[in-house]
A = this chain, B = another copy of it.
Amino acid sequence: MSRPMNDRRIVRLASKDREPRDASDSAPVSYGVLPQLLGFHLRRSQTAVFSHFMEFVSPEESITPGLFGMLEVIAANEGLAQSELAKAMGVDRSTIVKAIDQLEARRLIARRPSSDDKRRHRLCLTPAGKAARARIRELILNHEALLVRSRLSTEEVQTLIGLLERLCQGAQPASFP
C-alpha cells in the first residue's frame, strides 16, 4: 500500500484547487503529513485516554493517572525506596518527593524507616491506602471499559497492547498513563 489509509491528502485534494483559507473558510484543516506518523496518533490517543480519566475517575477519587500509578507500584512492591519508585516511574528522584508528600498527606501511604539503611524510606500503603487503591482500580477498569470497549473489541485491545509492548521493548519505564 503506497498510500496509507489515514492519509488526509485524499480529502485535501478532493476540494478542487482551493484558495488560501480566509475568514469565511470553515473547512476542516488538513494535518499534512502528521496522520502518517505513529507519534501523532500515539499523542492523540494518550491525550484522549488521559482526558477521559480526568473526567471519569478524578472527580470521584481526586486522583491523577500519575498518582494512581505510584500507588499501584508501591502496593505491588511494598517497602520499596523512593529512588526505586522514581526509577520505575521514569522520573528523577527529586521529582518523586512532592508526589509522595501528597499521597502521605492524604494518609494513603507511609514513609517507614528502614532498619538496615537509615537513609532509605520504605514506602507502604496504609489500610486507607489499600482501600482507596481497590476502589480506584475498579473505577479505572470501568473507565477503560467505557472508553475503549465501546470502540474496540477485546481481541483488538489485546492486539493493540501487544503491538505497543513490542514498540516499547528496551525503552525506559514511564509514569501512568
Interface residues in chain A, defined as those with a beta carbon under 8 Å from any beta carbon in chain B: 1, 4-6, 12, 20-23, 25, 29-34, 36-51, 53, 65, 69, 72-73, 75-81, 84, 88, 90, 114, 116-117, 120, 122, 124, 137, 140-141, 144, 148, 151-152, 154, 156-169, 171-177
Contact = CB atoms under 8 A, between A and B. Distances in A.
Nearest to A9: B76
How many copies are assembled? 2
Top 6 nearest A-B pairs (CB, nearest first) are: A39-B177, A20-B79, A32-B76, A30-B76, A32-B72, A43-B177
A144 to B, nearest CB: 6
Given A73-B29, A73-B31, A148-B167, A162 B38 contact: no
A161 B38 contact: yes
A142 to B, nearest CB: 12
Nearest to A169: B151
A136 to B, nearest CB: 10
A5 B25 CA distance: 49
Nearest to A69: B34
25 contacts: A6-B165, A21-B77, A22-B114, A22-B116, A23-B117, A25-B80, A29-B88, A32-B75, A33-B72, A34-B73, A38-B144, A38-B148, A38-B157, A41-B164, A42-B49, A43-B175, A44-B164, A44-B173, A45-B46, A47-B171, A48-B172, A148-B167, A151-B166, A151-B169, A159-B163
